Amino acid sequence: MDLELWSVRPLWLTVLAALWGAAAGLLVPRAAYRFAVEPDEAWRTRCPDGHVLTGAAGGWLGLARCPDCAQDLRDFRTSRSAPGDAGRVSGDAGRVPGDAGRAPGGAGRVPGRAGRMPGDAPTAYRYGPGTPLVALATAGACAGLALATGARPELAVWLLLAPLGVLLAVVDFRVQRLPDVLTLPLAGLALVLLGVMALVPEHAGEWPTALFGSLVLGGAYFLLFLVNPNGMGFGDVKLALGIGAVLGWYGWGTVVLGTFAGFLFGGLYGLGLVLMRRAGRKTSIPFGPFLIAGAYVGLLIGAYAA
């Protein structure tokens, strides 16, 4: 009986991991929207219609939806259905939805929204990357980690870091930027949490190799950055610190495999853009998502083989 329960347990772990990933993935789009700005811009604090983003942790946690825009939309629908009021926004004819509470002179209003005609439906009820797709991708990533790792204690680390990896990939794809506030904590969390897991029985990795993997891979990417700054961003160097720690947990073979996979995925993506005539040889592409995807593949194989 015990053997039967043990054989079924990875399935339960996979289901629980997928549920965790889906729940965490629901929170990724809002953070991605706020982080996806140019390097000289502050993190976004307002929705596309100018409403202040509120919620847990100073507005960072929550679904990528705006309650104020939702209210504007309800007012719009009510006004459209009211007899004699078609086309007018209830109580505020001529007001651009999203300007409630706006400071004199237009402070707090997003440029480009003022051109919306009065009576138009609000468009920013939901914003950022598609929430269902991101949640599904995060759930799938966590489920794959659970299948490969099984009931070993380091699975908890992988499940905690997976949503952060998805967030980094989304932000880099949108604005070709890997924020320090994400990459550096990723490296620190990976090393600290894996250090704790090294003290737990039944783990399958080695913390010293994780530390050296972080330093070696980060150093290698730093050299690539010095040789060709246009081809390798410094954000990729910082990301490599965390990736090296995660891959190094399962040994140097996993580090090599995950690194090679990342370059392979990035090269195939760039080649595809060139063949479709959507990019040239000197066109920059976001490399972070492919580093993360390669690390994920390496981690799956390393965990399964451990």
**Tens-digit pLDDT profile for residues 204-242:** 999 999 999 999 999 999 999 999 887 788 999 999 999
Give whole-number Cα distances, 23 to 121, 159, 268, in Å: 30, 12, 31
DSSP code at position 91: T
Which residue has better confidence, 117 or 204? 204
Orientation of helix 131-149 relative to helix 288-305, angle to 10° = 30
Domain assignment of residue 84, yes or no:
no
Sequence-distant (≥ 6) Cβ neighbours of residue 35 within 8 angstroms:
43, 167, 171, 177, 179, 182
Which pLDDT value is given to residue 287?
93
Examine residue 7 and state whether it is found in any structural domain, yes or no.
Answer: yes
Evaluate whether residue 115 is within a structural domain: no
Residue from 237, 212, 243, 207 nearest 225 by CA: 237
Please report which confidence band the pLDDT of residue 123 belongs to, taking 50, 70 and 90 as the band edges.
low
Mention every residue, 6+ apart, whose C-beta is less than 8 A from residue 48.
98, 110, 113, 123, 124, 127
pLDDT of 49? 83
What pLDDT does residue 278 have?
A: 82
d(CA 204, CA 189): 18
What is the number of structural domains in the chain?
1
Q: Could you tell me the residue range of the domain that residue 144 belongs to? A: 2-36+130-305
Q: Does 45 map to a domain?
A: no
| DSSP secondary structure string for all residues of 169-189 | HHHHHHHS---HHHHHHHHHH
Question: Can you say how many angstroms the Cα of residue 137 is from the centroid of all Cα atoms in its chain?
Answer: 10
| Least trusted range by pLDDT, from 41-45, 94-98, 161-165, 234-238 | 94-98
Answer whether residue 264 is part of any domain. yes
Please indicate whether residue 281 or residue 97 has the higher confidence score (pLDDT): 281
pLDDT at 282 over 80: no
Residue with tokens 């706020």: 34
DSSP letter assigned to residue 46: B
Tokens of 55: 């919620």
Q: Is residue 62 part of a domain?
A: no
125-139 tens-digit pLDDT: 788 889 999 999 999
Instruction: Tell me the whole-structure pTM to 2 decimals.
Output: 0.83
Range 236-262 average pLDDT? 97
φ and ψ at 63, to 5 degrees? -75, 155
Measuring CA to CA, how many Å separate 279 from each of 17, 74, 228?
A: 38, 43, 19
> With bands split at pLDDT 50, 70 and 90, how would you rate the model's confidence at 65?
confident
User: In degrees rounded to 5, what are phi and psi of residue 290?
Assistant: -80, -30
Is the predicted pLDDT of residue 258 greater than 60, yes or no? yes
Q: How deeply is 155 buried, as exposed, middle or buried, from its count of CB atoms within 10 A (0-12, 13-18, 19+)? A: buried
pLDDT, residue 97, reads 40
Q: What is the pLDDT of residue 122?
A: 54
In-domain check, residue 59: no
Domain assignment of residue 112, yes or no = no
